[in-house]
């Protein structure tokens, strides 16, 4: 808890900014617009997709989590606030009924949904390379929010596999903050880019008619042109990323 008192200013600033954003979005009605009946019905399905795919991936022992595909999907087609709510609820519900160590990460999950929503709003969810950029930005945001949580709640070492990287870096004499940040920068982009591309593949498989029912369905209209090729390229990128994770990461980290 010393960390909290030492960085009180940091936390105060973050909380104030969030409160201001919230009030602004509420007063301008931007937030309410994201929550149509379609959104309320989609959120439970998205949470179920998060947790179910996350579980399958765990069983398959892939080097990624892929537990926020639904969150990104809601962020893109409904909006950032809806995405944030989906992410937060996803981790809170999972934390209570499935896997206790998920609970403290709910702010990270919320930021993932919100970032996906903001990126989609500025048009960065329409072609595969833009989606890769979005995935990367999501990873950076997740790192910024996740690092303090990792340090405060878990002292830098949690129950996730990437903590082994942190442990290795700490062993080489780096500081706690540097080690956790580095770990997240190594492991997050892979996961978040793959997640975003898979969400993109799902959106690509849904009809425009269906997507247009959601508050931000137009964010997801895949730019016309080589839709097929793009999808294939996107999938290839996912496979390459996963290959990178399987074969390259362990050798970098000496494990």
Identify which range of 44-52, 117-125, 127-135, 226-234 contacts other proteins by CB under 8 A. Answer: 44-52
Q: Which of residues 95-134 bind other proteins (CB under 8 A)?
A: 95-101, 103
User: Which listed residue (178, 240, 246, 252) binds other proteins by CB under 8 A?
Assistant: 246
Select from 221, 202, 220, 199 the least CA-distant residue to 79: 220
User: C-beta of 131: minimal distance to other proteins in Å?
Assistant: 17
Closest to other proteins by CB, 19 vs 178, is 178
Q: Closest approach of Cβ 148 to other proteins, in Å?
A: 15
- Cα distance between residue 112 and residue 80, in whole Å: 9
- Quickly tell me which residue has 């997240």 as its tokens: 184
Distance (Å, rounded) from C-alpha 162 to C-alpha 176?
A: 14
Instruction: For residue 91, state whether it binds other proteins (rule: CB under 8 A).
Output: no
Question: Does residue 249 bind other proteins (CB under 8 A)?
Answer: no
Our finding on whether 224 is near other proteins (CB under 8 A) is no
CA 33/CA 38 separation, integer angstroms = 11
CA distance 15 to 30: 20
Q: From the CB of residue 195, how many other CB atoms can be counted at a distance below 10 Å?
A: 28
Binding of other proteins by 193 (CB under 8 A): no
Binding segment for other proteins (CB under 8 A), chosen from 11-19, 125-133, 162-170, 225-233, is: 162-170
**Residue 205 interacting with other proteins (CB under 8 A):** yes
Nearest to 145 by CA among 113, 104, 111, 193: 111
Choose, by CB under 8 A, the member of 10, 22, 26, 40 that binds other proteins. 40
The Cα 73–Cα 112 span in angstroms is 11
DSSP class per residue in 144-192: HHHHHHHHHHHTT--SSTTHHHHHHHHHTT--HHHHHHHHHHHHHHHHH
For residues 52-81, which are near other proteins according to CB under 8 A? 52-53, 55-56, 58-62
Give Rg (Cα) of the chain.
18
CB of 147 vs other proteins, minimal distance in Å: 16
CB of 233 to other proteins, least distance (A): 17
List contacts with other proteins (CB under 8 A): 1, 35-38, 40-45, 47-49, 51-53, 55-56, 58-62, 89, 93, 95-101, 103, 153-159, 163-164, 166-167, 170-171, 176, 202, 205-206, 208-210, 212-213, 239, 242, 246
């Amino acid at each position: 808890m010393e960390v909290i008192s030492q960085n009180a200013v940091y936390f105060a600033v973050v909380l104030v900014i969030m409160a201001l954003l919230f009030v602004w979005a509420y007063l301008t009605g931007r937030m309410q617009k994201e929550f149509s009946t379609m959104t309320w019905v989609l959120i439970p399905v998205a949470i179920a997709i998060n947790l179910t795919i996350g579980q399958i991936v765990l069983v398959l022992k892939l080097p990624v989590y892929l537990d926020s595909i639904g969150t990104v999907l809601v962020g893109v087609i409904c909006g950032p606030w809806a995405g944030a709510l989906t992410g937060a609820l996803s981790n809170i519900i999972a934390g209570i009924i499935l896997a206790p160590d998920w609970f403290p990460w709910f702010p990270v999950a919320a930021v993932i949904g919100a970032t996906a929503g903001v990126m989609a709003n500025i048009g960065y969810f329409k072609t595969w390379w833009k989606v890769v950029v979005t995935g990367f930005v999501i990873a950076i945001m997740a790192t910024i929010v996740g690092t303090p949580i990792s340090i405060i709640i878990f002292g830098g070492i949690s129950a996730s596999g990437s903590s082994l990287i942190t442990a290795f870096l700490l062993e080489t004499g780096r500081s706690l903050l540097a080690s956790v940040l580095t770990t997240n920068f190594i492991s997050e982009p892979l996961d978040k880019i793959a997640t975003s591309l898979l969400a993109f593949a799902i959106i690509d498989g849904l009809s425009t008619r269906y997507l247009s029912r959601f508050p931000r369905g137009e964010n997801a209209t895949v730019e016309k042109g080589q839709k097929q090729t793009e999808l294939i390229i996107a999938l290839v990128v996912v496979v390459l990323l996963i290959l990178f994770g399987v074969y390259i990461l362990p050798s970098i980290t000496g494990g």
